[in-house]
Amino acid sequence: MSVLPYLLAVFVFLVGLYGIVSSRNLIHIAVCVSVCQSGTYILLLAIGYKTHGTAPIFGDIPSSRKVVDPVVQSLTLTDIVVAVAVSALILAFALKAYEHEGTLDPHEIVEMKG
């Protein structure tokens, strides 16, 4: 079952995509975008994992100790912060859309119909 973590990442990503397509609420869409992003975190962290590896912080472990890959961890870290900022931006758009159209359903907003 060595590919299971990768398949989980694919699954989470596709579930998020389905949510975005089928959504009837802009706030729900913002949550679905976050779900998609979570899929990328799982993929990144799964790639860098090493069996019996520990966190790559050498404060109190010897430098010979097996550690997981720090590069993907730092990518995930910055990714999370940016994801929160982007969610804030999407939700601000959703609020403004509600103010102008009186609804959060993308099917009822003419500009978003498609």
Q: What is the per-residue binding string for other proteins in 81-100, x denoting contact by CB under 8 A?
A: xx-xxx-xx-xxx-xx----
Classify the C-alpha dihedral 73-77-83-84 as positive or negative.
positive
Return the amino acid letter for 8.
Answer: L
Regarding 6 and contact with other proteins (CB under 8 A), the answer is yes
Q: CB-hemisphere CA count at 13 Å for 14?
A: 6
Regarding 110 and contact with other proteins (CB under 8 A), the answer is no
- Residues 22 and 51: their CA atoms lie apart, in Å, by 39
Least distance from C-beta 35 to other proteins, angstroms? 14
29-48 exposure pattern, b = at least 16 Cβ within 10 A, e = fewer: bbbbbbbbbbbbbbbbbbeb
Q: Which of 59, 102, 110, 111 binds other proteins (CB under 8 A)?
A: 59
Interacting residues toward other proteins by CB under 8 A: 2-7, 9-10, 13-14, 17-18, 21-22, 43, 46-51, 55-59, 63, 67-74, 77-78, 81-82, 84-86, 88-89, 91-93, 95-96, 107, 114
